[in-house]
């Protein structure tokens, strides 16, 4: 299993709203076309209305690489920058848990 957490900070409220629309369009396609993407969630941070946390779990690194090759993901990656003031990415290695395959 392969995962990551990404924290995005939007420039302002209008940017956050536009970013959320872009995310919603992208997530629809991820749901429909990526069986190797096990979890792809987007959260607003309580008390921080301009921040979004993405939590992503993939079957393996190959599934993540396949995700990154999708045209709709490439489009998301290119378009998102206009709405953001900061991006932080942490790649994860699963140790144990509940609700994930093999656990």
The residues, any chain, with a CB within 8 Å of residue 65's CB and separated by 6 or more, are none
Burial class (CB in 10 A: 0-12, 13-18, 19+), 27: middle
pLDDT band at 99 (very low <50, low <70, confident <90, very high): confident
Domain 2-52+62-92 has CATH 3.30.70.100: yes
Separation of alpha carbons 19 and 79, rounded Å: 9
Q: Where are the domains of the chain?
A: 2-52+62-92
Mean pLDDT of 13-42: 97
Dihedral (CA of 55, 24, 51, 47) sign? negative
Reported as a single tens digit per residue, the pLDDT across 22-36 is 999 999 999 999 999
Mean pLDDT of 55-79: 97
Q: What is the pLDDT of residue 52?
A: 98
pTM for the structure as a whole: 0.91
């Amino acid at each position: 299993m392969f995962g990551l957490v990404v924290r995005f900070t939007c420039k302002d409220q209008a940017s956050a709203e536009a970013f959320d629309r872009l995310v919603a369009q992208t997530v629809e396609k991820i749901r429909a076309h990526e069986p190797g993407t096990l979890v792809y969630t987007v959260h607003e941070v309580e008390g921080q209305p301009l921040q979004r946390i993405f939590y992503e779990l993939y079957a393996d690194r190959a599934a993540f690489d396949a995700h990154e090759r999708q045209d709709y993901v490439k489009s998301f990656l290119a378009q998102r920058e206009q709405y953001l003031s900061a991006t932080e990415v942490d790649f994860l290695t699963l140790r144990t848990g509940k609700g994930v395959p093999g656990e």
